[in-house]
Structure 1
Amino acid sequence: MDVSLSYFLDAMSGSPVLVITLLLTLGVIFVNGWTDAPNAIATCVTTRCLPARTAIMMSAAFNFLGVFVMTQINSSVASTISNMVDFGSNTQEALVALCAALISIVVYSVAASVFGIPTSESHSLIAGISGAAIAIQGGVGGINGAEWVKVIYGLVLSLALGFITGWVICRAITVLCQNMERRRADRFFGGAQIVGAAAMSFMHGAQDGQKFIGVLFLGIAFCNGQNSVSGMEIPVWLMLLCSIVMGLGTSVGGEKIIKSVGMDMVKLERYQGFSADLAGAFCLLLSSVFGIPVSTTHTKTSAIMGVGAVKRLSAINFNVVKDMMLTWIFTFPGCGIISFVMAKIFMAVF
């Protein structure tokens, strides 16, 4: 299959649906940078290591690098997303259904962000393409169970490993630095937390950027009359395009989400913020290497809870945690149903 930039531009001139798919995918990537990426810098801002605007611009740069660098090293997450569903042999209908899935993600994510609640764009994406596949196939035959199992692994990994790793790292730092002078420790962890936030931003781009690259790559395949991207190499121009758009989305901000994650859930000190960032980045790196799509929101928030639990469980505001968990639980059926309905409507109209 020809995946060169020149071919893609020529294909867009003759396919309005491909143009819509491109715009929707880039819109979802932009929304992801806007609503999801702030989780990566929430602790850095709320512990006053960096002003919000400076942290956001730093995060935008490292999101860009994460998408571009990690996709060239290991693109297994993108492949998992591309192979998760089967839209059938009619590639024109498949392209229309893919558009419906992308619209459902935008609708759901923007609605949640209005209330300052962190969303899982990863789960929105998975639910959206799954709902569209069920609509076009008339049943669950379009769902690839082997790839969907990785979503379950990712859910467990992001929650359990994030919490445990956050607890272990924070506990180790507490023991190792217990005799360090307080002012000196604050200065050290202030700098260390900036590095940790940069690492979290890089890994957010590596994880979430690859997921949406996989979707856009799938759209290109449909335009070529192919219903699969197995064995195809992701072009550099596509990596650059997605990484630039995610960086731009991150630069827009997300102050409400920063407050929800970094302040409302657990009151953090600098060494705790660094522990949460390091734990989150480690879990994202591990899952990226093994091609497991995980939620960066799940990973970061569970790491923060693990850090808070080092002192006492009561340090965690479980009302905020409950609200977040309900949002995540509703994501799968919510996005899936919206996508299913839109896919049916789009196929009937187009």
Structure 2
Amino acid sequence: MFTLLIIIIVLALVFDFINGFHDAANSIATIVATKVLTPFQAVLWAAFFNFLAYFISKYWVGEFKIGNTIAKTVNIDFITLEVILAGLIAAITWNLLTWKLGIPSSSSHTLIGGFMGAALAHAATIEGADLNTVVNYGKVVPIILFIFAAPLIGMVVAYFITILILNICRKANPSKADKWFRKLQLVSSALFSLGHGANDAQKVMGIIGAAVIFYHTKVDMDPNYLTSEDPFKYFVAHWYWVPIASFLMIGLGTMSGGWKIVKTMGSKITKVTSLEGVAAETAGAITLYASEHLGIPVSTTHTITGAIIGVGVTKRVSAVRWGVTISLLWAWVLTIPVSAIIAALMYYLVSLFT
């Protein structure tokens, strides 16, 4: 059983790495599109701030709220190591598929969908189990609502930030203003990368935490976990290398890039100037920080896409390529149910070998 736990931790960190290169576009698409940095410089810049987010979460925020939420999306009575393993395999599969197709889907919702789908499949094998009690809806419903709320908030905030900047700078020399905004884009992309790292690395922490808590409460009956008021916080305090490894792996993944998605995010939705890049990244960062404060895992992909649409709408509605946007929306809506179905199938497969 301990060997299976180690396999899950390794796979979770692999998913974290994949998440990094899948979502690299979130942090660098606009800064590459405006040629403020080369792609290589941009991924190094984003990766550094992805990892720096660990220290913000640990020493400034003081806790890992999003990781705690992820660990509790499924009722502990229906969590097993096989469930977590199947959910991870499904999440990795969907992430690689959408990366290959250049679709900026949500790694967050892939992971959550996989976790829930495998747990429901496990519950279905238990005689008399109430499937309505498998999912912790108090945690999951806000996550589902934010599939739509996060891009909408990003869009609205970006729209008003862009309008505000345009009004403040309406008498500025265009050439000088562009130079300033190119410099400011370094700041805004760093802020967004901090939010990306803090949001996404914690999701893997939550999955690893769920596996470790199951192991200590169901297998070796560790009294420290059995009597702890909040087992996840106890896990973070004693498996302190897990948060560091999670933030490090997402940073390394970001360094490997994700160029197909960069192209979609940076140019296919709408043409982006350095001014608009600052507005989009700042709006995305604000949305991510707010969601982290609330402990709600959101998709950085959804957030920055909404923000890019927001800056596009300030020019004219037709400036946004709505055909591309609608295709992205379908990918977002389908991510959780498709991941859940793949995870359910994986659970039955994994069960044959464990």
- Normalising by structure 1, we get a TM-score of 0.92
Given residue 172 of structure 1, which amino acid in structure 2 is its aligned partner? L
Match of 1:31 in 2: 18
Q: CA deviation at 1:317?
A: 0.7
Unmatched tracts of structure 1, length 5 or more:
1-13
Q: Matched residues in 2 for 1:205 and 1:341: separation?
A: 30
Match of 2:45 in 1: 58
Given residue 146 of structure 1, which amino acid in structure 2 is its aligned partner? G
Residue number among 102, 108, 129 corresponding to 1:122 in the alignment: 108
Residues 172-321 of structure 1 correspond to what in structure 2 (within 5 A)? 172-226=164-218, 229-230=231-232, 232-235=234-237, 236-321=240-325
Q: Secondary structure at the match of 2:352?
A: helix
Residue number among 108, 111, 125 corresponding to 2:94 in the alignment: 108
Q: Secondary structure at the match of 1:88?
A: helix
Q: Matched residues in 1 for 2:193 and 2:285: separation?
A: 8
Which has the larger displacement, 107-116 or 59-68? 59-68
Q: Matched residues in 2 for 1:42 and 1:124: separation?
A: 21
Q: Deviations along 1:40-93, whole A, 9 cap, x unmatched?
A: 11101100111110000111111111134314523111111111102526x6xx
C-alpha RMSD of the superposition: 1.6
Q: Secondary structure at the match of 2:272?
A: coil
Q: Report the CA distance shift for 1:238/1:231 in structure 2 as closer, same or farther (over 3 A).
A: closer
Q: Matched residues in 1 for 2:233 and 2:10: separation?
A: 25
Q: Deviations along 1:296-331, whole A, 9 cap, x unmatched?
A: 001000011011101101000111112211111111
Q: CA deviation at 1:157?
A: 2.8
Q: CA deviation at 1:293?
A: 1.0
Which has the larger displacement, 295-304 or 132-141? 132-141
Residue number among 68, 75, 78 corresponding to 1:86 in the alignment: 75
Q: Matched residues in 2 for 1:87 and 1:99: separation?
A: 15
Match of 2:343 in 1: 339
- Structure 1 segments of 4+ aligned residues over 4 angstroms from their partners: none
Residue number among 137, 150, 154 corresponding to 2:142 in the alignment: 150
**Are the counterparts in 1 of residues 102 and 264 from structure 2 also a CA contact under 8 Å?**
yes
Q: CA deviation at 1:101?
A: 0.2
**Are the counterparts in 2 of residues 67 and 207 from structure 1 also a CA contact under 8 Å?**
no
Overall identity of the aligned pairs, in %: 33
**Are the counterparts in 2 of residues 78 and 212 from structure 1 also a CA contact under 8 Å?**
yes
**Are the counterparts in 1 of residues 195 and 288 from structure 2 also a CA contact under 8 Å?**
yes
Residue number among 30, 45, 54 corresponding to 1:67 in the alignment: 54
Given residue 313 of structure 2, which amino acid in structure 1 is its aligned partner? A
Given residue 277 of structure 1, which amino acid in structure 2 is its aligned partner? E
**Are the counterparts in 1 of residues 24 and 262 from structure 2 also a CA contact under 8 Å?**
no
Residue number among 56, 62, 66 corresponding to 1:77 in the alignment: 66
Q: Matched residues in 2 for 1:125 and 1:225: separation?
A: 23
Residue number among 31, 34, 49 corresponding to 2:36 in the alignment: 49
Q: Matched residues in 2 for 1:26 and 1:69: separation?
A: 20
Q: Matched residues in 1 for 2:297 and 2:170: separation?
A: 37
Q: Matched residues in 1 for 2:94 and 2:252: separation?
A: 20
Given residue 328 of structure 1, which amino acid in structure 2 is its aligned partner? W
Q: Matched residues in 1 for 2:83 and 2:276: separation?
A: 44
Q: Secondary structure at the match of 1:151?
A: helix
Q: CA deviation at 1:223?
A: 2.0
**Are the counterparts in 2 of residues 85 and 133 from structure 1 also a CA contact under 8 Å?**
yes
Q: Secondary structure at the match of 1:43?
A: helix
Q: Secondary structure at the match of 1:309?
A: helix
Unmatched tracts of structure 2, length 5 or more:
125-130, 219-225
Given residue 32 of structure 2, which amino acid in structure 1 is its aligned partner? V
Aligned residues: 334
